[in-house]
Amino acid sequence: QVKLVESGGGSVQAGGSLRLSCVVPNFGHVAWFRQAPGKEREGVASRNTLGTTYYADSVKGRFTISLENKSTLYLYLQMNNLKPDDTAMYYCAGNYGYYSGSGPDSLSGLMYNYWGQGTQVTVSS
């Protein structure tokens, strides 16, 4: 059974940084999503099988998604210049198989079958 566990969330002031981590199996494509209270879940960043990344406009230039193999495969989301609007529960997600897409579809929750339980990020002004 695939179980994804996120870590690295916390509380920071606006302008600060956090790095979220998620241990993943050998997925073909991965992504980070977030959901703020009272809002729908939104895709934040994705990385396809070819290594191509895609970002939501709201985080472009501030967030970076990466995948590192340190005997265990780690999915990261480096978040810089955080804003209060970034406050949300963040989830890692992934799926097996080859996927070369890198557009808005790559941030659809329908693309991913496996999800973590979430880690809270709170940004204060």
The pLDDT of residue 2:
86
Q: Where are the alpha helices (DSSP H) in 1-125?
A: none
Paired tokens of 97: 């198989």
Q: Would strands 72-79 and 63-70 be described as parallel, antiparallel, or unpaired? A: antiparallel
Ranges of residues in the chain with a pLDDT under 50 are: none
Asked if 7 and 119 count as a contact pair (C-beta separation under 8 A), the reply is yes
Angle CA 102–104–110, to nearest 5: 95
The pLDDT of residue 1:
83
Task: Identify the bridge partners of residue 114 per DSSP, sorted by sequence position.
Answer: 94
Phi-psi domain of 106 (left: phi exceeds 0; alpha: psi -120 through 50; beta: other): alpha
CA-wise closest residue to 47 among 71, 15, 22, 18: 22
Asked if 116 and 91 count as a contact pair (C-beta separation under 8 A), the reply is yes
The pLDDT of residue 42:
97
Amino acid at 5: V
Model confidence over 22-57: pLDDT tens digits?
A: 999 999 999 999 999 999 999 999 999 999 999 999
